[in-house]
Amino acid sequence: MTSQHPHILNAQTAVVVVVDMQEPFFQPIFEKERVLDNVRLLMEGANILDVPILLTTQYASRMGGVLPQIEALLPAPQPPLDKLCFSCYADPGFADEIARLDRHQALLCGIETHICVSQTAHGLLAAGYQPHVVVDAVSSRTEANWRLGLEKMRQSGVILASVESALYEMMHEAGTPQFRQMLELVKRAAAHDKQVHS
- 20 in catalytic set: yes
Sequence-ordered list of residues with C-beta below 8 angstroms from that of 23, at least 6 positions apart, any chain: 64, 67
Helices (runs of H) and strands (runs of E) counted in the chain: 9, 6
Contact assessment for residue 192 and residue 37, using Cβ atoms and an 8 Å cutoff:
yes
- Determine which one of 88, 91, 109, 116 is catalytic: 116
User: Distance (Å, rounded) from C-alpha 163 to C-alpha 36?
Assistant: 12
- Determine which one of 83, 88, 109, 136 is catalytic: 83
- 83 in catalytic set: yes
Give the Å distances, CA to CA, from 42 to 4, 8, 59, 86.
22, 16, 24, 23
Catalytic machinery residues: 20, 83, 116
